[in-house]
C-alpha cells in the first residue's frame, strides 16, 4: 500500500467561542479509547483534567480573571472566564519526532505527528523533547475491562489528530463534537486565513488581548499544525511564550557526529591496514 | 434568565453563539457568573429568588416610557379588556389580590373575571366554591369560558381605569429602577441597560427571546416568573414571531413529552383534565365544565371521546358515557410531594420508579429516603443501581442510625432497563419535536424497555383479573391492551403504540392526519389529540430524517412537531392585523389574499381572512376573529392579565422566596400567600425568615444547579467514567468575601446546613460569586450543584437534602432555586452526631422563632 | 534482521536516504499505520438515534458491529445539532456500556441485608401480584364525602421524563385502568 501525501491539515482552536463544555475531551476519549485519567478534584476553577498527558489528549483550561472581556467597555463587568481547549500542536518542526529512535513517531501524509503504537517501545526520549509537555508515558493500574489496545504499557500516547478517522475521510472526533466550532479542523492554509480574519474581527470589536498563538510559520517550531486564538498572553494559558524546537541544533549535531564517525572509521581502517602491513 | 444555556444545553447554545457573532445582544441575568455569562454580551448578577422584581421593573419601564408595541398590544392581547370591579390589586390590598380566604389559604379565583362575563364552569363549582379551573386551565387551559368570542367590555383607547392596560400600569408602578436595584442587588445602570436592549431589539424589524429553565419554575411563585416574562413579550410584540418567544430549556430527553402524554396525576394525554372527585357529577357536567364555547378547546368532547376509544375500544360507548363513571377521580393535589407525605404516613404501600432517582433528585432527600423505608414494596427500573434502589443499606440515614437495614420492611425489586439504543421510540424535545430513535442492538440478559415492562405487567394483571366480577376491576378489564410484539423477548411494537397515539378512523381504519378530523361520536380513536397526525398516512412522521441541507431553514421535514407539524406556535402573530408581515426582515406567515402561507404550517385556519368577524352564536374556532392569533384562548388573544386558570393571582407580584433573609419591601405580604406548605410536618421544618427570631442561624442564600459534565441526580453521569472524572467531587461555590467571613479555605471543606440537613462539600472560592447589597445589606449567595449521592463512580453529599418542600400552588413544584442556609468550615459530623448537629441548629433557630413570630396579612396563625 | 538492515532502517538514516528530512510517513510508516481504518467504516450498520440526556434532542449515529455498539457520534443531518454533541451526549456509548450497568434482576426481601438473584419472569409475576393485592386491599370506591373515587391511593408511579412517549402512554393508560392516580414524573420535580 502506498501512501499518497495529502494536504497538511490541522486545528484552529478559537477560544473566543469556547464554552468550556469539554465535549472535545470526551469525544477524544470515546473515539480513541483513552482510559480514564483518575478522579481528582483540583479546585482550579472547573478544570479537573489539569494537563495534557497520555490519558488526556484534549484539555480544557479555565482561567478566571478580573479583566473586562472587551477594552471598549461594552457590557463588561470586569470579570471574564477564559476557556481554551489545548491539544498537541503537531509542530512543523517537531522535536519529539526528531529524537524518536524507533521510528514510532512519524509525520503522516496529512502533515500531522503521530506515535505508532505498534512500534513505540516506551523509551521516553520524546517526553522531555516536547516544549509543551504533551508527550507522556501511560501508567495505569491494570483494568481488565479496557480493550487490549488501551492497557497499561508504558508507551507514549498523545493526540493523533484522529489519524484513522482522517484515513476514512472523517474529521477528528473533537472537532466534530465541538458544539460551537471553537475547534475547527481543515487544511492548515485555510485555517490560517480564517484565523487572520477572525482576529481582525475581534480586534475591530475591541476584544481584550486577542492574539494568535502558533499560527506563524516563522516561530521557533515553524508554526503549529494545531494553533490557537487566545484572549491573553500565552503564559496565562500555561503555554511557553516563545516555544523553540528542542532539537533546533540537531542538524549541526548530526554533521559533527558524521565527521567524528568518519574520523573513527578512518582511524580504524588505518589500524587494520596498518596491522596487515 | 433562569437558565444556564451554555452549560446545560451546549449544543443548542451553538445558535446563540452564532447570533452573537452576527451582532445579537446576549444578556445573562443570573445569581452566578456561569459559562453562559462568560459568553454573553452582558452579565447581570441578581439575588436568587428576585426575578419577578426585575422583570416587573422591565414591565414598568416599558409602560412608563410608552415603549410597548402598540398595534400588537391593542389587537393581539387583552390589554383593552375591562375587568370586573370585584378585582382588587395587590397595590390596594398590600400584597394580596381580592378573593383571599385566610382560612382556606386560597383565593376565590372568580373575583378576577372580565367585566360582564359569567365565569364558565359553574357546574364544577357546586361543592367547594372554588372551581377546578386552576387545574383545568393551568396546563394549557381548558379555555377561559367566554360565552362570546369577544369579551363583553373593551376600551380600544386603553384608558379606562379598569382596562387591563391601566391595571397593569398601576400594578407595576412602584417597580422602579431604584427599587429593582435594591431588591435584586444589581445596579440601576445594568437594569436600564437590559430594558433598553430589550426595547431596541423588539418591534416590527427585530425580535427578542427569553430562554428560561428550572431557574424560573422551581420557586413557590414559579409560574408567575414565567408569566412576567410573558407580559414583557406581549408588550414588546415578541410572541408568535421568528426569533421571539419564551423558550423553555427543558432538561430531559422527553420531559416535554412526559407532560404532553403525561405521567402526571392531574391530566390525561393532550392536557385533558382528569376528573376530580369533588367537583364533577356526571359526564355532561364534566363536558360542560371543560368545553370552552369558543376557541379550539371548544372541541374538548371530540378529544375526550377519541381518547376513551383509544383506551377502552369497543367497551367505551355512548350508552355508558364512554365509561366516565368508572374512571378514577383525583383530589386537588395528588402530586409527588403529596404522595411523599402519604408515604411517610405509611399510606402508600407500593411504589414503581422508572428512570428517576428521588432519593437524590427530589427536594428534602432525607424525607424521601425515610418514606421509601415505609413501603411494603418498591420497584426500581434503571440501567444502574441508583440510590433509590440501595437506600435500605447505604443511605445516609443508615450511617446516622435513623434507619436500620434489618428493620426496613420494604421489599425491593431492581429491574435493569434497556438503553435508548436498545429500543425504538420517540422523544419530544424542548421545541415540541417528536424525534424517533431506532433500536441499534438487542438489550442483554434481563434488560428490558419500559414499554416491555408496562405492557407485560398490564398483560399479567389483566390475566389475573380476567375472571373478576368485582366492580373495581371493570375498568382494567375494559382496557384495550393488545399490541403486536416482536423478537424473542416479545418487545411490544413501539410504532403500533405511536399509531394509537396519532389515531385512526374506526370505520375505515384510515390513519388521521390532523386533530381537526377528530369526532365526538366515537368514530375516531386518538391517544393524544395534539399528537394527532404523527402517524398520518401510516407513516411514522417522527422518524423523518431529511438532512437539513436539503430543506428550508425551518426544516419541516425533520421529525414532526406538535401540533400539525407547526414549528412556531401562534405564528399568525408574525403578520399584522391585516395579514401582512410586520416587516420584510421578520416575514414568516402571511395572508396572500386567499389563504395563509409562508415558511411554516400556519397556526390558523388556512382560509380564514384577516377581516373575518364571527357571526352571532359562533362556536369553537369559528368564534375567533381573523385578527386574533391566539386560537387556543377563548377570546383569541394573549393574556397580559389572566382572568382564570391561576391559583395565586391574575398578575405576577414580587414575593420573597419561602425562605429568605430579606423582607418584602413592597408589600406586607412577604411570600406567595397561596404557596403550599407542610407547616406542621416534622419532616419538612423551615428556616426562620427575616423578621423572625433565629433567622441569623441560616443567614445566606443558596441555589442549586447542574453542571455540563453531569446529568440531574447522577444516574446517567456518575455511572460514566469519562464524565465522573470531569467533575469528580461535590463542591460549593462561594465568593472570596464569604470565604473570609466564614473562615472557608479554598480547596478545603465546608459544611452547609438548613433545618432539614447538613451536607459537606469541597470549597471553590471564586470571583464569579459576588456578594450583593440588597436593601442596604450585604448578602452572600452559595452555589451548590446537586448531582451527587452515596453511590457510583463519584459520590458525595446531595444538595437536595438541604431543601424544603414548600411548593408553587399551581403546579406543585418545589423551590430548589432559592432558600437559606448556614455555612461553616470543615467536614460535617459523622454518624449520629450529624443528626444531632442538624437538630441542635434547628432548635437554636426555632426556639428563638417561637418568641418572635411574624404573622402576615394573608395568614391565620394556627396555634 | 541483519545488523545492516537495522541500521539502514534507523529513521534518521531513512530520512536522509529518502530525502524525507521531516520524517514523513512513507519511510517510517508501520504496518498498522498503513492498514489503519476508522472503526465506523467497519460497522455492520448505523442507526439514527437521538441523544438520551437533555431536551435539545441532538441527532446521534449509533455504529454497530457484531451486535455491539462500537461508537456513537453526532448526526450531521440534524437541523438541531448539525452533528455536534456535548460531553454527555458524546459519552452515550460509555453510558450504555457503563461498568456499573446491571444486567440481571436484583431482589431484596423485607428486612433482608443483601440482594438476591431473581428470575425476570418470577419478578414480573410477583410485581403483578403485589399490584393486584395492594389494589384490592386499599381500594377506594368513594371518598369520605361520598364522591366517586374509583381508585387506590396505596400505589404510586414515578418516572417518565427520560422515557419514550410510547412508554409514557402505556404507563398512564395502565394506571388509569388500574385506578392508580399518583402518577408523576420529573417534569414536576
- What is the SS3 assignment for B851? helix
Q: What is the dihedral of CA A213, A217, A221, A226, to 10 degrees?
A: 50
Distance from CA of B46 to the nearest CA of C (A): 24
Distance from CA of B7 to the nearest CA of C (A): 9
pLDDT tens-place string over residues C176-185: 999 999 999 9
CB of C12 less than 8 A from some CB of A: yes
Burial (CB < 10 A; 0-12, 13-18, 19+), residue B691, is middle
Q: Quote the strand ranges of C39-161, DSSP E.
A: 45-50, 59-65, 68-74, 106-108, 116-117, 139-142, 148-158
What DSSP state is assigned to residue B437? E
Cell of B398: 443508615
Residue among A17, A64, A75 whose CB faces B41 most closely: A75
Residue among A30, A105, A167 whose CB faces C37 most closely: A167
Q: Of B810, B807, B814, which is closest to residue B266 (Cα–Cα)?
A: B810
CB < 8 Å to C91, chain B: 717, 720, 722-723
CB < 8 Å to B13, chain A: 19, 179-180
Residue among B342, B355, B446 whose CB faces C120 most closely: B446
Q: Tell me which residues of chain A, numbers 151 to 210, contact chain C at a CB-CB cutoff of 8 Å.
A: 162-165, 167-168, 170, 173, 176-179, 181
Across the interface, do C24 and A106 touch by the CB < 8 Å criterion? yes
Where b means 16+ CB within 10 Å and e means fewer, B114-128 reads bbebebbbebbbeee
Mean pLDDT of B624-643: 94
Cell of B837: 448537629
The residue of C25, C34, C75 whose CB has the most chain A CBs within 10 angstroms, and thus the best one to mutate to test that interface, is C25
pLDDT tens-place string over residues B799-821: 999 999 999 999 999 999 999 99
CB < 8 Å to C45, chain B: 440
Burial (CB < 10 A; 0-12, 13-18, 19+), residue C10, is middle
pLDDT tens-place string over residues C119-173: 999 999 999 999 999 999 999 999 988 889 999 999 999 999 999 999 999 999 9
Q: What is the dihedral of CA C43, C49, C52, C58, to 10 degrees?
A: 110
Cell of B546: 431529511
Q: Is pLDDT of B114 > 70?
A: yes
CB < 8 Å to A3, chain C: 25-26, 29, 34
Grid cell 391601566 is found at B166
CA distance B753 to B366: 13
Distance from CA of B8 to the nearest CA of C (A): 8
What pLDDT shows up at residue C25? 59
CB < 8 Å to C111, chain B: 405-409
Mean pLDDT of B466-491: 97
pLDDT tens-place string over residues B504-525: 999 999 999 999 999 999 999 9
CA distance B80 to B171: 16
What pLDDT shows up at residue A142? 57
pTM, entire model: 0.94
Mean pLDDT of A57-75: 86
Mean of pLDDT over chain C: 90
CB < 8 Å to A21, chain C: 86-87
CA distance B805 to B800: 10
Helix, strand, coil shares, percent, chain A, to 5: 30, 15, 55
Q: Is pLDDT of B63 > 70?
A: yes
Cβ–Cβ under 8 Å, residues B211 and B80: no
B495: left (phi over 0), alpha (psi -120 to 50) or beta: alpha
Across the interface, do B334 and C153 touch by the CB < 8 Å criterion? yes
**Angle B300-312/B283-290 helices, nearest 10 degrees?**
130
Across the interface, do C126 and B413 touch by the CB < 8 Å criterion? yes
Nearest CA in chain C to A167: C37
What pLDDT shows up at residue B125? 31
Nearest CA in chain A to B190: A75
What pLDDT shows up at residue C72? 98
Helices of type H across B743-802: none
Q: Of A222, A115, A132, which is closest to residue A124 (Cα–Cα)?
A: A115
CB < 8 Å to B709, chain A: 22
The residue of C93, C97, C104, C177 whose CB has the most chain B CBs within 10 angstroms, and thus the best one to mutate to test that interface, is C177
Across the interface, do C26 and A116 touch by the CB < 8 Å criterion? no
- Dihedral sign, Cα of residue B100, residue B101, residue B107, residue B109: negative
Q: Is pLDDT of A2 > 70?
A: no
CB < 8 Å to A77, chain B: 33, 42-43, 45
Q: Of A163, A188, A97, which is closest to residue C20 (Cα–Cα)?
A: A97
The residue of C29, C35, C42, C43 whose CB has the most chain A CBs within 10 angstroms, and thus the best one to mutate to test that interface, is C29
B49: left (phi over 0), alpha (psi -120 to 50) or beta: left
Q: Is pLDDT of C49 > 70?
A: yes
CB < 8 Å to B11, chain A: 179
pLDDT tens-place string over residues C160-169: 999 999 999 9
**Residue B157 phi, psi (nearest 5):** -80, -10
Where b means 16+ CB within 10 Å and e means fewer, B696-721 reads ebbbbbbbbbbbbbbbbbbbbbbbbb
CB of B793 less than 8 A from some CB of A: yes
CB < 8 Å to B10, chain A: 19, 21, 23, 179-180
Where b means 16+ CB within 10 Å and e means fewer, B409-433 reads ebbbbbbbbbbbbbbbbbbbbbbbb
What pLDDT shows up at residue B142? 39
What pLDDT shows up at residue B152? 82
ipTM value, please give it: 0.96
Q: Is pLDDT of B530 > 70?
A: yes
Q: Of B792, B723, B727, which is closest to residue B386 (Cα–Cα)?
A: B792
Across the interface, do C38 and A170 touch by the CB < 8 Å criterion? yes
Angle at B436 between CA B430 and CA B438, to 5 degrees: 140
CA distance B642 to B228: 11
HEC profile for B551-563? Answer: CCCCCCCECEECC
CA distance B13 to B174: 36
> Which of these ranges, A245-254, B353-362, B717-726, has the smallest mean pLDDT?
A245-254
What pLDDT shows up at residue A166? 97
CB of C43 less than 8 A from some CB of B: no
pLDDT tens-place string over residues B551-609: 999 999 999 999 999 999 999 999 999 999 999 999 999 999 999 999 999 999 999 99
Distance from CA of C44 to the nearest CA of A (A): 16
CB of A119 less than 8 A from some CB of C: yes
CB of A23 less than 8 A from some CB of C: yes
What DSSP state is assigned to residue B543? G
Mean pLDDT of A6-17: 96
What pLDDT shows up at residue C23? 52
Residue among A20, A26, A43 whose CB faces B35 most closely: A20
Q: Note the Cα C9 to chain centre separation in Å.
A: 48
Cβ–Cβ under 8 Å, residues A118 and C34: no
Residue among B35, B709, B724 whose CB faces A81 most closely: B35
pLDDT tens-place string over residues B298-357: 999 999 999 999 999 999 999 999 999 999 999 999 999 999 999 999 999 999 999 999
CA distance B197 to B204: 15
Q: State the chains in contact with C (3 or more Cβ–Cβ pairs under 8 Å).
A: A, B
Across the interface, do A118 and C31 touch by the CB < 8 Å criterion? yes
CA distance B408 to B370: 10
Q: State the chains in contact with A (3 or more Cβ–Cβ pairs under 8 Å).
A: B, C
Across the interface, do C104 and B446 touch by the CB < 8 Å criterion? yes
Distance from CA of B40 to the nearest CA of A (A): 9
Cis bond upstream, residue B563 (ω within 30): yes
Across the interface, do A48 and B708 touch by the CB < 8 Å criterion? no
Q: What is the pLDDT confidence band of residue B279, given thresholds at 50, 70 and 90?
A: confident
CB count in 10 Å sphere of residue A220: 16
CA distance B351 to B359: 13
Q: Of B850, B824, B821, which is closest to residue B697 (Cα–Cα)?
A: B821
DSSP assignment of B794-814 equals S----GGGG----B-TTT--B
What pLDDT shows up at residue B261? 97
CA distance C59 to C53: 12
Distance from CA of A71 to the nearest CA of C (A): 31
CA distance B306 to B517: 11
Across the interface, do A19 and B6 touch by the CB < 8 Å criterion? yes
> Which of these ranges, B138-142, B183-187, B455-459, B467-471, has the smallest mean pLDDT?
B138-142
pLDDT tens-place string over residues B121-176: 333 332 222 233 333 443 334 344 555 567 889 999 999 999 999 999 999 999 99
Helices of type H across A83-236: 95-99, 126-129, 163-167, 173-177, 188-204
CA distance B334 to B812: 10
pLDDT tens-place string over residues B542-552: 999 999 999 99
Q: Of B453, B455, B452, B421, which is closest to residue B438 (Cα–Cα)?
A: B421
The residue of B132, B253, B395, B465 whose CB has the most chain C CBs within 10 angstroms, and thus the best one to mutate to test that interface, is B253
Q: Tell me which residues of chain B, numbers 363 to 402, contact chain C at a CB-CB cutoff of 8 Å.
A: 363, 376-377, 379, 381-385, 389, 392-393
Cβ–Cβ under 8 Å, residues C169 and B499: no
What pLDDT shows up at residue A203? 96
Residue among B430, B464, B723 whose CB faces C56 most closely: B430
CA distance B310 to B304: 10
What pLDDT shows up at residue A5? 82
Distance from CA of A30 to the nearest CA of C (A): 7
Cβ contacts of B721 within 8 Å, gap of 6 or more: A36, B793, C94, C98, C99
**Residue B539 phi, psi (nearest 5):** -115, 135
pLDDT tens-place string over residues B734-792: 999 999 999 999 999 999 999 999 999 999 999 999 999 999 999 999 999 999 999 99
Grid cell 435508548 is found at B420
Amino acid at each position: 500500500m502506498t501512501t499518497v501525501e495529502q494536504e497538511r491539515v490541522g486545528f484552529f482552536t478559537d477560544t473566543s467561542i469556547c464554552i468550556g463544555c469539554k465535549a472535545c475531551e470526551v469525544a477524544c476519549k470515546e473515539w480513541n479509547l483513552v482510559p480514564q485519567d483518575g478522579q481528582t478534584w483540583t479546585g482550579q476553577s472547573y478544570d479537573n483534567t489539569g494537563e495534557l498527558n497520555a490519558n488526556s489528549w484534549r484539555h480544557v483550561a479555565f482561567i478566571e480573571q478580573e479583566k473586562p472581556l472587551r477594552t471598549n467597555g461594552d457590557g463588561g463587568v470586569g470579570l471574564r472566564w477564559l476557556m481554551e481547549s489545548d491539544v498537541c500542536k503537531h509542530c512543523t518542526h517537531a522535536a519529539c519526532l526528531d529524537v524518536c529512535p524507533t521510528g514510532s513517531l512519524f509525520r503522516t501524509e496529512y502533515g500531522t505527528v503521530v506515535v505508532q503504537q505498534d512500534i513505540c517501545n516506551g523509551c521516553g526520549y520524546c517526553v522531555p523533547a516536547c516544549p509543551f509537555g504533551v508527550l507522556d508515558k501511560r501508567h495505569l493500574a491494570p483494568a481488565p475491562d479496557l480493550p487490549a489496545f488501551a492497557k497499561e504499557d508504558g508507551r507514549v500516547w498523545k493526540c493523533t489528530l484522529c489519524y484513522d478517522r482522517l484515513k476514512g475521510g472523517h474529521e477528528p472526533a473533537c472537532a466534530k463534537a465541538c458544539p460551537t466550532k471553537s475547534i475547527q479542523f481543515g487544511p492548515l492554509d485555510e485555517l490560517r486565513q480564517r484565523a487572520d480574519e477572525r482576529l481582525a474581527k475581534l480586534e475591530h470589536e475591541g476584544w481584550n488581548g486577542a492574539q494568535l498563538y502558533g499560527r506563524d510559520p516563522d516561530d521557533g517550531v515553524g508554526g503549529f499544525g494545531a494553533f490557537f486564538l487566545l484572549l491573553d498572553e500565552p503564559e496565562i494559558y500555561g503555554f511557553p511564550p516563545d516555544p523553540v524546537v528542542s532539537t533546533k541544533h540537531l542538524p549541526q549535531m548530526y554533521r559533527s557526529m558524521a565527521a567524528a564517525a568518519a574520523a573513527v572509521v578512518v582511524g580504524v581502517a588505518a589500524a587494520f591496514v596498518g596491522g596487515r602491513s | 434568565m433562569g437558565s444556564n444555556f451554555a452549560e446545560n444545553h451546549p449544543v443548542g447554545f451553538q445558535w446563540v453563539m452564532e447570533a452573537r457573532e452576527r451582532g445579537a445582544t446576549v444578556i445573562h441575568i443570573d445569581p452566578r457568573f456561569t459559562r453562559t455569562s462568560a459568553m454573553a454580551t452582558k452579565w447581570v448578577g441578581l439575588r436568587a429568588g428576585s426575578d419577578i422584581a426585575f422583570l416587573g421593573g422591565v414591565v414598568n419601564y416599558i409602560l412608563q416610557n410608552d415603549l410597548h408595541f402598540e398595534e400588537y398590544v391593542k389587537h393581539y392581547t387583552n390589554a383593552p379588556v375591562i375587568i370586573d370591579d370585584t378585582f382588587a390589586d395587590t397595590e390596594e390590598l398590600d400584597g394580596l389580590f381580592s378573593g383571599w380566604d385566610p382560612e382556606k389559604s386560597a383565593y376565590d379565583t372568580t373575583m378576577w373575571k372580565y367585566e360582564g362575563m359569567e365565569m364558565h364552569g359553574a357546574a364544577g363549582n357546586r361543592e367547594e366554591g372554588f372551581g377546578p379551573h386552576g387545574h383545568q386551565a393551568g396546563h394549557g387551559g381548558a379555555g377561559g369560558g367566554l360565552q362570546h368570542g369577544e369579551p363583553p367590555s373593551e376600551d380600544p383607547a386603553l384608558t379606562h381605569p379598569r382596562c387591563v392596560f391601566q391595571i397593569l400600569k398601576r400594578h407595576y408602578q412602584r417597580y422602579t429602577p431604584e427599587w429593582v436595584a435594591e431588591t435584586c442587588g444589581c445596579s440601576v445602570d445594568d437594569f436600564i441597560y437590559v430594558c433598553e436592549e430589550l426595547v431596541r431589539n423588539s418591534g416590527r424589524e427585530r425580535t427578542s427571546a427569553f430562554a428560561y429553565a428550572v431557574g424560573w419554575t422551581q420557586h413557590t411563585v414559579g409560574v408567575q416568573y414565567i408569566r412576567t416574562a410573558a407580559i414583557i413579550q406581549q408588550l414588546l410584540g415578541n410572541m408568535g414571531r421568528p426569533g421571539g418567544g419564551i423558550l423553555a430549556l427543558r432538561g430531559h430527553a422527553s420531559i416535554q413529552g412526559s407532560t404532553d402524554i403525561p405521567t402526571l396525576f392531574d391530566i390525561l394525554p393532550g392536557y385533558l383534565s382528569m376528573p376530580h372527585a369533588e367537583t364533577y357529577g356526571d359526564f355532561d357536567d364534566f363536558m360542560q365544565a371543560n368545553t370552552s364555547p369558543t376557541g379550539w378547546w371548544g372541541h374538548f368532547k371530540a378529544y375526550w371521546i377519541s381518547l376513551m376509544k383509544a383506551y377502552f375500544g369497543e367497551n367505551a360507548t355512548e350508552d355508558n358515557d364512554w365509561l366516565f363513571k368508572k374512571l378514577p377521580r383525583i383530589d386537588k393535589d395528588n402530586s409527588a410531594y403529596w404522595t411523599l407525605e402519604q408515604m411517610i404516613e405509611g399510606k402508600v404501600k407500593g411504589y414503581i420508579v422508572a428512570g428517576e432517582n428521588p432519593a437524590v433528585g427530589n427536594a428534602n432527600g432525607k424525607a424521601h429516603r425515610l418514606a421509601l423505608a415505609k413501603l411494603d414494596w418498591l420497584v426500581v427500573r434503571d440501567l444502574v443501581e441508583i440510590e433509590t434502589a440501595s437506600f435500605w443499606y447505604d443511605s445516609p440515614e443508615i450511617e446516622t442510625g435513623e434507619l436500620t437495614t434489618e428493620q426496613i420492611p420494604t421489599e425491593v425489586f431492581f429491574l435493569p432497563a434497556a438503553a435508548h439504543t436498545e429500543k425504538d421510540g420517540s422523544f419530544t424535545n424542548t421545541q415540541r419535536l417528536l424525534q424517533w430513535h431506532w433500536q441499534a442492538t438487542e438489550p442483554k440478559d434481563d434488560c428490558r424497555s419500559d414499554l416491555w415492562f408496562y405492557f407485560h405487567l398490564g398483560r399479567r394483571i389483566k390475566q389475573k383479573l380476567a375472571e373478576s366480577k368485582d366492580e373495581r376491576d371493570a375498568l382494567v378489564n375494559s382496557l384495550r391492551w393488545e399490541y403486536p410484539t416482536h423478537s424473542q423477548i416479545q418487545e411490544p411494537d413501539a410504532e403500533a403504540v405511536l399509531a394509537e397515539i396519532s389515531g385512526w378512523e374506526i370505520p375505515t381504519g384510515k390513519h388521521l392526519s390532523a386533530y381537526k378530523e377528530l369526532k365526538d361520536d366515537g368514530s375516531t380513536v386518538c391517544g393524544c389529540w395534539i399528537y394527532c397526525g404523527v402517524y398520518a398516512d401510516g407513516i411514522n412522521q417522527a422518524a423523518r430524517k431529511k438532512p437539513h441541507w436539503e430543506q428550508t431553514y425551518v426544516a419541516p421535514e425533520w421529525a414532526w412537531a406538535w401540533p400539525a407539524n407547526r414549528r412556531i406556535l401562534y405564528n399568525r402573530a408574525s403578520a399584522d392585523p391585516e395579514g401582512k408581515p410586520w416587516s420584510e426582515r421578520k416575514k414568516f406567515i402571511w395572508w396572500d389574499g386567499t389563504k395563509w402561507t409562508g415558511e411554516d404550517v400556519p397556526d390558523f385556519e388556512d382560509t380564514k381572512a384577516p377581516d373575518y368577524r364571527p357571526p352571532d352564536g359562533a362556536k369553537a374556532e369559528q368564534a375567533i376573529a381573523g385578527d386574533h392569533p391566539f386560537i387556543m384562548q377563548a377570546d383569541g388573544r394573549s393574556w397580559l392579565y389572566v382572568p382564570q386558570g391561576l391559583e395565586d393571582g391574575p398578575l405576577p407580584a414580587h414575593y420573597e422566596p419561602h425562605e429568605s433573609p430579606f423582607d418584602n419591601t413592597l408589600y406586607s405580604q412577604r411570600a406567595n400567600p397561596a404557596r403550599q406548605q407542610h407547616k406542621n410536618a416534622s419532616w419538612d421544618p423551615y428556616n426562620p425568615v427575616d423578621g423572625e427570631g433565629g433567622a441569623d442561624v441560616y443567614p445566606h442564600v443558596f441555589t442549586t444547579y447542574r453542571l455540563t459534565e453531569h446529568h440531574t441526580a447522577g444516574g446517567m453521569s456518575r455511572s460514566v467514567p469519562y464524565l465522573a472524572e470531569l467533575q469528580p467531587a461535590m463542591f460549593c461555590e462561594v465568593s472570596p468575601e464569604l470565604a473570609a467571613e466564614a473562615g472557608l479555605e479554598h480547596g478545603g471543606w465546608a459544611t452547609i446546613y438548613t433545618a432539614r440537613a447538613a451536607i459537606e462539600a469541597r470549597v471553590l472560592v471564586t470571583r464569579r460569586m459576588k456578594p450583593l447589597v440588597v436593601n442596604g445589606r450585604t448578602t452572600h449567595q452559595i452555589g451548590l450543584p446537586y448531582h451527587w449521592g452515596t453511590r457510583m463512580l463519584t459520590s458525595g453529599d446531595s444538595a437536595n437534602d438541604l431543601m424544603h418542600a414548600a411548593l408553587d400552588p399551581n403546579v406543585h413544584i418545589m423551590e430548589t432555586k432559592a432558600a437559606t442556609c448556614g455555612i461553616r468550615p470543615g467536614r460535617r459530623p459523622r454518624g449520629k452526631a450529624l443528626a444531632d448537629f442538624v437538630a441542635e441548629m434547628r432548635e437554636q433557630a426555632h426556639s428563638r422563632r417561637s418568641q418572635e413570630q411574624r404573622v402576615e396579612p394573608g395568614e391565620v396563625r394556627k396555634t | 534482521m541483519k545488523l545492516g538492515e537495522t541500521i539502514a532502517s534507523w529513521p534518521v538514516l531513512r530520512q536522509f536516504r529518502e530525502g524525507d528530512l521531516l520524517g514523513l510517513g512513507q519511510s517510517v510508516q508501520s504496518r498498522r499505520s498503513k492498514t489503519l481504518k476508522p472503526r465506523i467504516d467497519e460497522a455492520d450498520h448505523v442507526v439514527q438515534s437521538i441523544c438520551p440526556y437533555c431536551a435539545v434532542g441532538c441527532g446521534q449515529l449509533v455504529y454497530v458491529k457484531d451486535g455491539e455498539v462500537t461508537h456513537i457520534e453526532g448526526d450531521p443531518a440534524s437541523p438541531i445539532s448539525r452533528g455536534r454533541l456535548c460531553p454527555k451526549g458524546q459519552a452515550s456509548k460509555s453510558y450504555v456500556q457503563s461498568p456499573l450497568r446491571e444486567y440481571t434482576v436484583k431482589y431484596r426481601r423485607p428486612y433482608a441485608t443483601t440482594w438476591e438473584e431473581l428470575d425476570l419472569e418470577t419478578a414480573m409475576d410477583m410485581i403483578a401480584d403485589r399490584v393486584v393485592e395492594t389494589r384490592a386491599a386499599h381500594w377506594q370506591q368513594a371518598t369520605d364525602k361520598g364522591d366517586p373515587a374509583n381508585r387506590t391511593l396505596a400505589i404510586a408511579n414515578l418516572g417518565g421524563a427520560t422515557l419514550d412517549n410510547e412508554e409514557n402512554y402505556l404507563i398512564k393508560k395502565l394506571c388509569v385502568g388500574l385506578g392508580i392516580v399518583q402518577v408523576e414524573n420529573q417534569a414536576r420535580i
